Amino acid sequence: MNLKEMGQTAKDAAVILNRLGSGKKNEGLRQVSLALKDKDNISSIIAANKKDIERAKNNNMKASLVDRLSLNEQRIGAMAEGIDQIISLDDPVGEVLYMKERPNGLCIGEKRVPLGVVGIIYESRPNVTADAFALCFKTGNAVILRGGSDAIESNKMIVDIIRNALDLANLPKDAIQLITDTKRSTAEEFMKLNGYVDVLIPRGGAGLIKTVVEKASVPVIETGTGNCHIYVDESADIDMAVKIIENAKTQRLGVCNACESLVIHSAAADKALPKIEKSLSAKGVEIRADMRALSLMDNAVPASEDDWGTEYLDAIISVKTVDSIDEAIAHINKYNTGHSESIITNDYNNSRKFLEEVDAAAVYVNASTRFTDGFEFGFGAEIGISTQKLHARGPMGLKALTTTKYIIYGNGQIRE
């Protein structure tokens, strides 16, 4: 099919999905979850993923991005678990947000409804394929996926398994479709599929998101890159800070909620930085620091101005020294991408100030930025993490994939 034919097929499927009750949708998701837990299907996904991994290594993809691309039995199990969690969540579709009677007797209410056809353009992470499907299906949306060429074999296999499971459940398999042509021109045509795609969601690096925002004529929900900071305050528990920073930086390098930038109060730097350096160096992390921080560490290298605004997705972290929480907040708000920021502190007033004044989708006190995730927030999977301020912000779960319409009950009223 060409893209317009695919779009029409998705619109037709969306009409059917819009009529399904929660029970039918949950049964479809249950069948997909069972299919992803099937040993033969797991083996097929891993075999397809190995082809993608081999090609990525031959293309000299850096190790952190190869890890993001990789699937194993545990990660496939997590995909199925995410779907199971979505099944357990309340279906937002059909929720009446309010209903009020006007003086003229009209009853006017607002109700949650599906968006319709959701298009998603994404890179590398094949688990997004299952996550995106499950969230869209639960909310009565058809989805057209356009993954990156680096994950094409994995995505094709996952989509085939999902479509077969839907077919066995007598549900429209065209609720999910995959664009297998990975040419850039095809992606750009997809971005302009007005009349078929109701909203487009890019999920990937800064270059992809910028391209979609600039070239799409379809409405876009912008997900963002993650130049995430951790600020170690003057009153911080140093051992807690070391533990959180190590987790946020090294637990997974190639993800948008990893810590890329460390900001530290000068009064805490003497005690904290040597311990932080020891912890990060043991994990192979390169530290790029300002002049004051350099003097307190043995193996750090000088940071440039570019480092303050860089999402590395690699074993690199920047370190900036400040003299006050106000200076820390100003630095973070200047260079962050609106994703996730954290303060390590024992000062209640400073924690409140940080929460109030830092401009980001998720702001933490004494916790790792790695928790900015739909699964961790109890949303099941996520469609992406929105860093914009319209419609949706932060991890995008079920409600972010709905819109509203007004419903009006009358008994013969006419406007005078």
Q: What is the pLDDT of residue 366?
A: 97
Q: What is the pLDDT of residue 204?
A: 80
Question: What rounded mean pLDDT belongs to the chain?
Answer: 94
% of the chain surpassing 90 pLDDT? 86
Per-residue pLDDT at 381 exceeds 90: no
pTM: 0.81
Per-residue pLDDT at 390 exceeds 80: no
Residue 203: Cβ within 10 Å count? 26
Q: Which domains does the chain have, with CATH numbers?
A: 3-223+396-409 (3.40.605.10), 228-371 (3.40.309.10)
Q: Which of 284-293, 359-368, 370-379 has the lowest mean pLDDT?
A: 370-379
pLDDT-based confidence at residue 275 (cuts at 50, 70, 90): very high
* Stretch 36-42: mean pLDDT: 98
pLDDT-based confidence at residue 171 (cuts at 50, 70, 90): very high
Question: Rounded to 5 degrees, what angle do the CA atoms 95, 176, 396 make?
Answer: 45
Per-residue pLDDT at 339 exceeds 80: yes
Q: What is the pLDDT of residue 383?
A: 81
- First-to-final CA distance of the chain: 51
pLDDT digits (tens, 9 = 90+) for 239-269: 999 999 999 999 999 889 999 999 999 999 9
Per-residue pLDDT at 382 exceeds 80: no
* Stretch 312-337: mean pLDDT: 97
The token duo for 146 is 């356009």
pLDDT digits (tens, 9 = 90+) for 174-206: 999 999 999 999 999 999 999 999 999 998 877
pLDDT-based confidence at residue 215 (cuts at 50, 70, 90): very high
* Stretch 26-44: mean pLDDT: 98
* Stretch 290-309: mean pLDDT: 96
Per-residue pLDDT at 380 exceeds 70: no
Residue 133 to residue 124: CA distance in whole angstroms: 16
pLDDT digits (tens, 9 = 90+) for 300-316: 999 999 999 999 999 99
* Stretch 9-34: mean pLDDT: 97
The residue with greater pLDDT, 375 or 131, is 131
Contacts of 256 (CB under 8 A, 6+ apart): 224, 225, 226, 228, 311, 339, 385
* Stretch 29-44: mean pLDDT: 98
The token duo for 412 is 């013969």
Q: What is the pLDDT of residue 62?
A: 86
* Stretch 284-292: mean pLDDT: 97
Per-residue pLDDT at 91 exceeds 90: yes
